[in-house]
Amino acid sequence: MPNKLWQYIYAEIPVISTNLTSLTNFTKNYKIGEVFRENNVNDFIKSASTILENYDFYRPNLKKTKKIFNWNNEANKIKNIIDGM
């Protein structure tokens, strides 16, 4: 995942991403933003408008996602892997 995605999540800014499979799945599964078809200006405008019209919908989802994907959780996962070696 691109660093910019994590920066948006931690700043609690809804994401507008291109329709790459991993980004699409992540964005839709966690309900943190909208996806647009690459090189389609009208689709981008539609995604941006949807976010602006429903901004409050994304905020709690961003907060939840931020709690799931944080360095403390990731450090614990890495520690468990190392401890299991």
Range of the domain at 59: 3-83
Residues of the chain scoring pLDDT < 50? none
Q: Look at residue 33 in the predicted model and tell me its pLDDT.
A: 97
Number of structural domains the chain divides into:
1
Q: Look at residue 77 in the predicted model and tell me its pLDDT.
A: 78
Residues 6+ apart with CB under 8 A from 75: none
Quote the pTM value. 0.81
Q: Look at residue 24 in the predicted model and tell me its pLDDT.
A: 95
Are residues 34 and 50 in contact, defined by beta-carbon separation less than 8 angstroms? yes
Residues 6+ apart with CB under 8 A from 38: 18, 19, 20
Place of tokens 């939840």: 64
